Structure 1
Amino acid sequence: MGKGSNVQKAQAARERNQKKLGKSDEERKASAAKVKLDSAAFMCKICRQTFMVNAKTSLLYLHVTAKHPEKKDEPTVCFDALAGYDPADPDGLKAAAAPVATVVKPKKVVKKEDDLSLLLDAGLKKGK
């Protein structure tokens, strides 16, 4: 064996030790900052209540109707994300289904019967 095998062993040992040590201080700080931003992704402008980044618009609208019923007609006063929100269609299924274009049906292809005489006329042989 040459010197290369020892270099590879040393590199593998360094990687194992890094895994045992865990995250560095900078990585921990960056992770904590990301968690803090994600946990306060949506904030009500009136009462300052925060919602996670994965909160649906229906949940945000529910907050508006429950906590601020006088702002029910203008939910964007609480959350900018509710611009264009339709309470009658909370998941946006009707809006997604509306702009469907008319479906064009393909024309039926009339299958012609295979006529071997046409193949023979074209110069093809029928068999071996």
Structure 2
Amino acid sequence: MGKGSNVQKAQQARERNQKKLGKTEEERKASAAKAKLDASAYMCKICRQTFMVNAKASLLYLHVTAKHEGTAPDACFDSLVGFDPNDPDGEKAAAAAKAAGGAVKPKKASKKNDDLDALLSAGLKKK
């Protein structure tokens, strides 16, 4: 019995030391490569400024208007083709598509309490 507890203590100590060591060299390299790709996901074609992967189209458009006046937005970023500055998040376009005949879910009929007796009687049949 004494050996078992020492083995468990040694195993716990090994696990604690592994946590202190942190990531392996391969994990560090992979993480750094991913961070580098995410940091330069969008790059302006004119000034080569990079933007993070989570940059919205409105931020990219703001860059175009502030830094490169008079140029088309898609001249800087391919993702800004068809971008509407009056509707940066696309909410107006989505509302217009819905109003123009988009799929509208029918409302569910409200449950009536008087139908409950009919349902119960239909489900209870004697053999």
**TM-score, with normalisation over the residues of structure 1?**
0.69
1:6-85 matches, cutoff 5 A: 7-72=7-72, 75-85=73-83
Given residue 79 of structure 1, which amino acid in structure 2 is its aligned partner? F
State the Cα distance separating 1:7 from its structure 2 match. Answer: 4.7
CA offset digits 1:38-78 (Å, max 9, x no partner): 11111001110111111110010111112222223xx1221
The total of aligned residue pairs comes to 116
State the Cα distance separating 1:89 from its structure 2 match. Answer: 0.2
Residue ranges of structure 2 left out of the alignment (5+ in a row) = 122-127
Partners of 1:26 and 1:106 lie apart in 2 by 55
State the Cα distance separating 1:82 from its structure 2 match. Answer: 1.1
CA offset digits 1:9-48 (Å, max 9, x no partner): 4332221110111222222222221111111111001110
Greater helix content: 2
Aligned CA-pair RMSD:
3.1
Q: Percent identity?
A: 70
Query: Paired residue for 1:93?
Result: 91
Partners of 1:57 and 1:108 lie apart in 2 by 42
Q: Which deviates the most, 54-63 or 7-16?
A: 7-16
Partners of 2:94 and 2:2 lie apart in 1 by 65
Residue ranges of structure 1 left out of the alignment (5+ in a row) = 120-128
Given residue 25 of structure 2, which amino acid in structure 1 is its aligned partner? D
SS at match of 1:99: helix
Partners of 1:21 and 1:113 lie apart in 2 by 67
**TM-score, with normalisation over the residues of structure 2?**
0.70
